[in-house]
Structure 1
Amino acid sequence: MTTGPEGDPEGFIRTHTAIARPPLVPEIALHLATEITPIWQATEAWLGETGIEPPFWAFAWPGSQAMARLILDAPARVAGRRVLDFAAGCGLAAIAAARAGAALVEAAEIDPLAVAATRLNAALNGVAVTALAADLVGSVSPRAGRWDLILAGDVCYEAPMTGHILPWLRAMAAAGAEVWLADPGRAYVPREGLAAMARFDVPVTRELEDCDSRPVTIARLLG
């Protein structure tokens, strides 16, 4: 196999994942890894790099599952709107938004494998999602009015990440976009400026979360 981002990311994903359905959102099928260590090692070998971050795109994380569940249970919240799935991972929330009748769905990621996974997963579910390979923070003005709804599932798990994205998300909310933030109990989720909307208990694996289920709160981020 040709290695590196210039090779065949979709082929890599097909080879190292299996089609599965997240426990909280069985309506949606995804290309997912069954264990974290083998896919992590395979990704490092494919990229020719070591010490990379975990392949977040290969798992349906609890925040994204809860976000997708809320969307599918209440499609009127999304129908007809322009939606961004920010730091989309495998694209689960974006796919749910497309299924719920969103007028436009974009999914943004900086990891080229996540972008490829989103394309594959959208095709697998027969929905239209535009996968963007971009760091939108700082490159898209909050005044652009590009999206009506921004979905941010499980993005506050590290201090540098949170410090990078949260001011931009708040600015987007202040400019008129509705911003949903999923909180599976991560350490760096803001404690103020949130309006809770829903709560879910999401089944998880001990390998990823060191527990059998994780409570996730979906909140609206205030500008």
Structure 2
Amino acid sequence: MSAVTYQVKQDIIQFNAQHSLIIKSLLDHQQFYDPQQQAQRLGICSAAWPIFGLVWPSSIQLAKKLLKRTIAADQRILEIGCGLGIASMVAKQLGLNITASDRHPLAPKFLRKNTQLNNLAEIPFLHGQWGVNQPASILDTNAPLLSGTYDYIIASDILYEPDNALQVAQFIQRYAAPEATIWLVDPNRGYHNHVRRHLAEFGFQLAEQVRLDHGPGEEQYRGRLLVFQR
């Protein structure tokens, strides 16, 4: 009898009349499977384990912004905390130079599967983790460690704890090009002003703040897009 792993489901996400994605995700937030303790060694507890594999509304909002804004094909884009990599796959559909990153050891597996389901070319994936942690082994990350600098760094719903703001700002500074642009979609968790102050210490200024409030006429969402530049 095969061992119990985790349950998944498959959905279609429709962004507009021309763009959609088939997404395989975890069935729900009750899933957990870490038989080799890879996630545990990376600091991911059982409660946090399924977060990467769920479809979060903010990731859909980030993907929609990519569809509405023009980025040159030669600009290097990094999605941090990508989870299922929904925004990264939309970027790939648009022919953009995208790299996805996350800390979860199963994130690259799900990204590969979903790119195949959507007939997309492979998206480079690198392990990226902010905060204090032990040196990561590729045996745990299942991907090379993040390196290089990027012209655009994009993310959605990553400011979910008080300490996140400083850690995220330091992480962005490490991988941002000298004249980088940052997109953060935040569902009003209350920490966007914290990250704004910390990014200012690295020369980033808030260039734009767009409210993303949608009512009953479409999928309900409350949040904002923050655009930083230096």
| Shared fold, TM over 0.5 | yes
Question: TM-score, with normalisation over the residues of structure 1?
Answer: 0.72
Question: TM-score, with normalisation over the residues of structure 2?
Answer: 0.70
Q: Which of 10, 22, 34 is 1:19 aligned to?
A: 10
Whether the aligned pair in 1 keeps the contact of 2:100 and 2:125 (CA below 8 Å) is yes
Q: Does 1:43 align with 2:19?
A: no
Identical amino acids, percent of aligned pairs: 22
Deviation at residue 195 of structure 1 after TM alignment: 3.0
Q: Which of 94, 100, 115 is 1:100 aligned to?
A: 94
| Counterpart position of 2:58 | 63
Q: Which runs of 5+ in 2 are unaligned?
A: 133-144, 197-204
- Number of residue pairs matched? 197
Q: Which of 103, 111, 119 is 1:118 aligned to?
A: 111
| Counterpart position of 2:208 | 196
Q: Which of 197, 213, 216 is 2:220 aligned to?
A: 213
Q: Which runs of 5+ in 1 are unaligned?
A: 4-11, 204-211
Q: Structure 2: how far apart are the matches of 1:160 and 1:79?
A: 34
The Cα RMSD (Å) is 3.3
User: Does the C-alpha gap of structure 1 residues 170 and 199 become closer, same or farther in structure 2, counting only changes over 3 Å?
Assistant: farther
1:115-154 alignment to 2 at 5 Å? 115-127=108-120, 128-135=122-129, 144=148, 146-154=149-157
* 3-state secondary structure, aligned to 2:48: coil
| Counterpart position of 2:83 | 89
| Counterpart position of 1:8 | none
Deviation string for 1:92-120 (max 9, x for gaps)?
Answer: 11111111121x22111111112221222
Mean Cα displacement is larger for which, 172-181 or 84-93?
Answer: 172-181
User: Does the C-alpha gap of structure 1 residues 23 and 56 become closer, same or farther in structure 2, counting only changes over 3 Å?
Assistant: farther
Whether the aligned pair in 1 keeps the contact of 2:159 and 2:189 (CA below 8 Å) is yes
Higher percent of residues as helix = 1
Deviation at residue 28 of structure 1 after TM alignment: 1.3
Q: Deviating runs (4+, > 6 A) in structure 1? A: 136-141
Whether the aligned pair in 2 keeps the contact of 1:71 and 1:78 (CA below 8 Å) is no
| Counterpart position of 1:162 | 165
Task: Letter of the 2:52 partner, please give it.
Answer: W
User: Does the C-alpha gap of structure 1 residues 80 and 202 become closer, same or farther in structure 2, counting only changes over 3 Å?
Assistant: farther
Deviation string for 1:88-147 (max 9, x for gaps)?
Answer: 100011111111121x22111111112221222222222231111233789868xx5x32
Q: Does 1:28 align with 2:21?
A: yes
User: Does the C-alpha gap of structure 1 residues 173 and 195 become closer, same or farther in structure 2, counting only changes over 3 Å?
Assistant: farther
